[in-house]
């Protein structure tokens, strides 16, 4: 029985992780690929194998749902299976980002310290360089219908679910253009308005702009991570 390490992973990390665990315990040489158009995983092996998504003794604790292999029947009789549901989650903003500044435009030294050497030379000691992206979510609402923003009757629920995930310092893949799925940057939330450690967020009510049921989130800063 394979036990997957407890943690938070980006979608791009899942194929290698799943393949590693299967190869340790599955008795074959498995490969796992990701289809970013559908966010589904495909598991392949030289010979037939089974995925006991419905009848396995550890089904209640399995990660099959997270991997996108769901249903009332096991996957049997083949040497290749594709998930029948998307793996992971995605959040699409209801408008374009406001005050957006990309990662390559904001760089700083990590835990840097400046000191003066005995030769009176000033030097900086750090653990590397970090890249930061800043932005705002300007309009968030459940109000429908809409003409100029992405319409969603659960818009506020969606962003709260996303932000609840972010403030736990969990990684995401940022796509500036959600239609271009192959261009993304893995990152974590560095800070937000009123929360310098990125461990909280604030929904700003836009009632002063005569937008009764609209909100915004300001001061978002994301740190690029290497995976």
How many residues in total does the chain contain? 227
Mark whether 161 and 204 lie in a shared domain: yes
Strand-pair category, 98-101 with 129-141: antiparallel
Number of domains in the chain: 2
Token pair listed for 96: 């374009």
pLDDT in tens, 27-50: 899 999 999 999 999 999 999 999
The reply to whether 92 falls in a domain is no
Write down which residue in 56, 82, 108 finishes a domain. 82
Give which of 187, 188, 186, 195 is closest to 217, Cα–Cα: 195
Mark whether 78 and 104 lie in a shared domain: no
Supply φ then ψ for residue 12, to 5 degrees. Answer: -65, -20
The reply to whether 107 falls in a domain is yes
DSSP class per residue in 53-104: TTT-TTGGG-SHHHHT--SSS-EEEEEEEE-SS-SS-----SSPPEEEE-GG
Q: Is the pLDDT of residue 123 over 90?
A: no
How far is residue 198's CA from residue 221's CA, in Å, rounded to a whole number? 8
Mark whether 103 and 207 lie in a shared domain: yes
Mark whether 116 and 216 lie in a shared domain: yes
Q: Domain residues for 57?
A: 11-82
DSSP class per residue in 169-227: T--EEE-SSTT-TT--EEEEEEEBTTBTTSS----EEGGGGT-TTEEEEEEEEEEE---
- Work out the average pLDDT over 70-96: 94
Mark whether 118 and 157 lie in a shared domain: yes
Mark whether 122 and 163 lie in a shared domain: yes
112 — pLDDT class (breaks 50, 70, 90): low
Mark whether 64 and 138 lie in a shared domain: no
Mark whether 109 and 76 lie in a shared domain: no
Mark whether 207 and 166 lie in a shared domain: yes
Mark whether 66 and 177 lie in a shared domain: no
Contact assessment for residue 143 and residue 154, using Cβ atoms and an 8 Å cutoff: no
Quote the pLDDT of residue 16.
94
Bridge partners, residue 131, by sequence: 107
Mark whether 153 and 49 lie in a shared domain: no
Token pair listed for 105: 């435009």
Mark whether 71 and 165 lie in a shared domain: no
Quote the pLDDT of residue 1.
60
Q: What is the pTM of this model?
A: 0.85
Contact assessment for residue 87 and residue 67, using Cβ atoms and an 8 Å cutoff: yes
The reply to whether 23 falls in a domain is yes
Over the chain, what is the mean pLDDT?
91
């Amino acid at each position: 029985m394979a036990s997957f390490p407890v943690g938070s992973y980006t979608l791009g990390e899942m194929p290698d992780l799943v393949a590693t665990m299967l190869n340790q315990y599955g008795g074959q040489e498995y490969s796992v690929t990701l289809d970013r158009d559908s966010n589904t995983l495909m598991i392949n092996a030289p010979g037939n194998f089974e995925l006991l998504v419905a009848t396995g003794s550890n089904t209640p604790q399995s990660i099959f749902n997270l991997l996108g292999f769901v249903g009332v029947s096991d996957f049997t009789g083949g040497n290749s299976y594709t998930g029948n549901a998307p793996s992971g989650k995605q959040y699409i903003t209801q408008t374009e980002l406001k005050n957006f500044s990309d990662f390559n435009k904001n760089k700083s030294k990590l835990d840097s310290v400046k000191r003066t050497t005995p030769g009176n030379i000033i030097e900086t000691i750090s653990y590397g360089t970090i890249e930061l992206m800043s932005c705002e979510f300007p309009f968030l609402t459940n109000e429908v219908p809409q003409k100029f923003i992405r319409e969603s009757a659960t818009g506020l629920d969606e962003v709260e679910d996303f932000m609840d995930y972010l403030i736990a310092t969990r990684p995401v893949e940022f796509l500036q253009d959600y239609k271009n799925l192959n261009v993304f940057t893995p990152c974590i939330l560095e800070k937000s308005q009123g929360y310098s450690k990125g461990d909280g967020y604030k929904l700003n009510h836009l009632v002063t702009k005569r937008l009764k049921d609209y909100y915004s989130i300001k001061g978002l800063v994301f740190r690029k991570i290497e995976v």
